[in-house]
Amino acid sequence: MSKTIIATDRQEIDIKACFDPATGIVDRRIFSDEAIYQKELQQIFGRGWNFMCHESQIKTPGSFFMNYIGEDEVIVVRDRKMNINVLLNSCPHRGNTVCRAELGTTKSFFCSYHGWNFDLDGSLVGMPGETEFYANEIDKKAWGLTPAAKVENYRGFVFATLDPDAPSLDDYLGWVGRLSIDFMASKGELEFLDGVHKNRLKCNWKIAVDNLFDWYHVKVSHGTAFKIGLVAEETMAPNRQMVMLGEYGHGIGGPGITEAEQAEFDARMAGAAGEHQWYDRSAELRQDPGVRQQLGPVGTRSFGHPNIFPNLWVSLTNQLCLRIPRGPFETEIWWFNYLPKDMPEADRKYAIFGQNHVFGPAGILEQDDGENWSHSTRGAKGPATKNLPLNFSMRLGKDQVLTDPSGQSRIETVVNEHGQRWTYQSWQEWMLAESWQELMANHSMPPQGTV
Amino acid sequence: MTTYADLSPQARMLLTFEVQEFLFHEANLLDSRRYAEWLEVLADDIHYWMPIRRTTQAREVHLEFTQPGGMAFFDDDKGILSMRVQRLSAGRAWAEDPLSRTRRLLTNIVVTAIDGDDITVASNFQLYRTRLNSEEDEWIGRREDVLRRVDNSFKLAQRHIYLEQTVILAQNMSSLF
């Protein structure tokens, strides 16, 4: 019997039925349903560790950078003790924002409505009429700006969570999340550059996120980049892939080389004969024994795209891409740019050239993504199309997880959708858990054996 | 060195007319999708640049735009601009397939400096774009161009574009400004 396409929505969508790990089928309504979106803001963005900025962006007391946790605006600010605070940008008197700039330096946050004034750690300093109108009865300790529950950094990358029950950042990231940042931090001390490329897409945030694991779209969506010689096809879209999956939804997916290829590369670098390979430029950056030590024997061979769940893509192009939700049908894309502090001037110019021309709204590669993601989102809200399944089955049941003696487990395969399936499976677990305690108790460990 | 202020009213009128004629023609080439001809009006050493703009506190307005050499939406030489044009006919340039419909309106065109053959021109622009059935984008901003006198015409030697947006409210900027 065929299933009817048009259905009458009678009840709340069952999250348990939204993703089937056995088939890789995803319910499209997770990209369009308003109730699901509101729940994501609470249970994923409100609970998780969200990337705020790098500590080099706010070096001096009073310097601040504005970011978001879900749809809540937060001020990330360095105080006089050099601590980094993350404060909800909302005055406790009427709710007004107390900071309107994206970045800058200030002595305090002064509310433009009635003049309540807050220190760099969020504490209430005073307000007009404290004695005359309030008779000194405002408990200033109780009426400061609300800080994030926890602020921690890993190698200078600052994260915050609104949930006091969240595990430490280190535990949250696990080895896959830490490796994602180690790819960058192993290059030496990093300096974030002035200027974040920002634009808005009419897509659901998860469609942007799942694309970073998607090495299937590259030759089609970005086919023009090869044709005009911006980048070689074999370098940009190799079939050889490696996937690493971590607790709570973190993952790294993309190009990777085999142990044999690594050995061949090392021999060639040591003087043996051999031809230039597609992975040379990536492997050249991983020759330093200290770097290899930090990345581990498997991590050294991965040149993939990491996602720190939920929405931080760490790109090997010295960039970070944050996908900030703006409703079920809109996402803000922020590209942060950074470079190793001691990078030679010529390399710097070349790196900045890449940062300005590949991604971002005018990027020669990324400009072709937006409409695909927006129209995929549109396909999740048609009265008929929203009820049709989406197929995420590529390489399901076809690959093995291998674990290195170092503990680094990975899948070595061809183009696949393991990273996307892991994202949606983890998303489902986050959405089903009522608390961090439940999520910690019930979330899946990264798979072993056949995947 | 002659400055614009040194010129007679008649000479200023003539120069402004020539500059306008060039800019209108150049805009029309883009509106008409005559990209190969557009590349021909660019000087070989053109700098085509659109910095990132930010909302700042009024007293830190010096931070409003990113600086040359740093992060930018466009920081192109002629090679990159040629690549952008080449893209359009290479196939699979999805941001422009189907093609966008664009119209450029130029106004407030003012010569601000003359340095030998290089004439600096400020102008305001509106770039209106529609795509598919109902996609609509609009960019308004200011440009600081350098027009270089070559033979009886000009070549565009610099285009600095300052948009009235911080977060770009479009899915992409596949159009040229």
pLDDT digits (tens, 9 = 90+) for A117-145: 999 999 999 999 999 999 999 999 999 99
Report strand pairing: A63-69 vs A103-105: antiparallel
Contacts of B165 in chain A (CB under 8 A): none
Among candidates A101, A105, A368 on the partner chain, residue whose Cβ is nearest the Cβ of B95 = A368
Query: Does residue A431 register a pLDDT over 60?
Result: yes
Shortest Cα distance from A339 to chain B (angstroms)?
Answer: 12
Q: Are B67 and A194 within 8 A, CB to CB?
A: yes
Q: Does A252 touch chain B (CB under 8 A)?
A: no
Report strand pairing: A241-245 vs A409-413: antiparallel
Query: Does residue A12 register a pLDDT over 90?
Result: no
Q: Residue A265 — pLDDT band, cuts 50, 70, 90?
A: very high
The whole-angstrom separation of Cα A200 and Cα B174 is 14
Q: Does A356 touch chain B (CB under 8 A)?
A: yes
The token pair at A296 is: 């581990």
Shortest Cα distance from A228 to chain B (angstroms)?
Answer: 6
**pLDDT, tens digit (0-9, with 9 covering 90-100), for A145-167:** 999 999 999 999 999 999 999 99
Q: What is the mean pLDDT of residues A191-202?
A: 97
Q: Which of A241, A243, A244 is nearest to A175 (CA)?
A: A244
Q: Does A235 touch chain B (CB under 8 A)?
A: no
Q: Are A361 and B171 within 8 A, CB to CB?
A: yes
Among candidates A194, A367, A368 on the partner chain, residue whose Cβ is nearest the Cβ of B173 = A367
Contacts of A374 in chain B (CB under 8 A): 171
Q: Residue A225 — pLDDT band, cuts 50, 70, 90?
A: confident
Q: Residue A336 — pLDDT band, cuts 50, 70, 90?
A: very high
Q: Residue A48 — pLDDT band, cuts 50, 70, 90?
A: very high
Query: Does residue A108 register a pLDDT over 60?
Result: yes
Average pLDDT, chain A: 96
Shortest Cα distance from B21 to chain A (angstroms)?
Answer: 28
Q: Which of A301, A306, A302 is nearest to A320 (CA)?
A: A306
Q: Residue A229 — pLDDT band, cuts 50, 70, 90?
A: confident
pTM, two decimal places = 0.96
Query: Does residue B168 register a pLDDT over 60?
Result: yes
Amino acid B89: pLDDT? 86
Query: Does residue A336 or residue A2 have the better pLDDT?
Result: A336
The whole-angstrom separation of Cα A300 and Cα A179 is 10
Q: Are A194 and B173 within 8 A, CB to CB?
A: no
Burial of A276 (0-12, 13-18, 19+ CB in 10 A): exposed
The answer for residues whose C-beta is within 8 angstroms of residue A89's C-beta and 6 or more apart is A66, A72, A73, A74, A75, A97, A98, A99, A145
**pLDDT, tens digit (0-9, with 9 covering 90-100), for B46-97:** 999 999 999 999 999 999 999 999 999 999 999 999 999 999 888 889 999 9
| Secondary structure (3-state) at A205 | helix
Q: Does A195 touch chain B (CB under 8 A)?
A: yes
- Whether residue A69 contacts residue A76, with contact meaning beta carbons closer than 8 Å, is answered with no
Interface test with A, best of B171, B173, B175, B177 (most A CBs within 10 A): B171
Amino acid A3: pLDDT? 64
Q: What is the mean pLDDT of residues A266-295?
A: 95
Consecutive H or E run containing A19? strand A19-20
Sheet arrangement for strand A63-69: A84-88, A72-78, A63-69, A103-105
Tokens 């941001």 belong to residue: B95
Amino acid A147: pLDDT? 98
Query: Does residue A230 register a pLDDT over 90?
Result: no
Query: Does residue A4 register a pLDDT over 90?
Result: no
Shortest Cα distance from B70 to chain A (angstroms)?
Answer: 7
Q: Are A356 and B75 within 8 A, CB to CB?
A: yes
Q: What is the mean pLDDT of residues B3-17?
A: 93
The whole-angstrom separation of Cα A220 and Cα A159 is 35
The whole-angstrom separation of Cα B8 and Cα B23 is 22
Q: Does A372 touch chain B (CB under 8 A)?
A: yes
Contacts of B90 in chain A (CB under 8 A): 224, 227-228
**pLDDT, tens digit (0-9, with 9 covering 90-100), for B103-137:** 999 999 999 999 999 999 999 999 999 999 999 99
The whole-angstrom separation of Cα A59 and Cα A117 is 23
Amino acid A90: pLDDT? 98
Contacts of B57 in chain A (CB under 8 A): 100-101, 104, 106
Query: Does residue B1 register a pLDDT over 70?
Result: no
Amino acid A372: pLDDT? 96
Query: Does residue A185 register a pLDDT over 60?
Result: yes
Query: Does residue B148 register a pLDDT over 80?
Result: yes
**pLDDT exceeding 90 applies to what percent of chain A?**
92
Among candidates B54, B69, B84 on the partner chain, residue whose Cβ is nearest the Cβ of A102 = B54
Q: Does A199 touch chain B (CB under 8 A)?
A: yes
* C-alpha torsion A216→A221→A223→A225, nearest 10: -110
Query: Does residue A230 or residue A326 have the better pLDDT?
Result: A326
The whole-angstrom separation of Cα A247 and Cα A170 is 12
Q: Residue A2 — pLDDT band, cuts 50, 70, 90?
A: low
Q: Residue A1 — pLDDT band, cuts 50, 70, 90?
A: very low
Q: Does A112 touch chain B (CB under 8 A)?
A: no
Amino acid A190: pLDDT? 96
ipTM over 0.90: yes
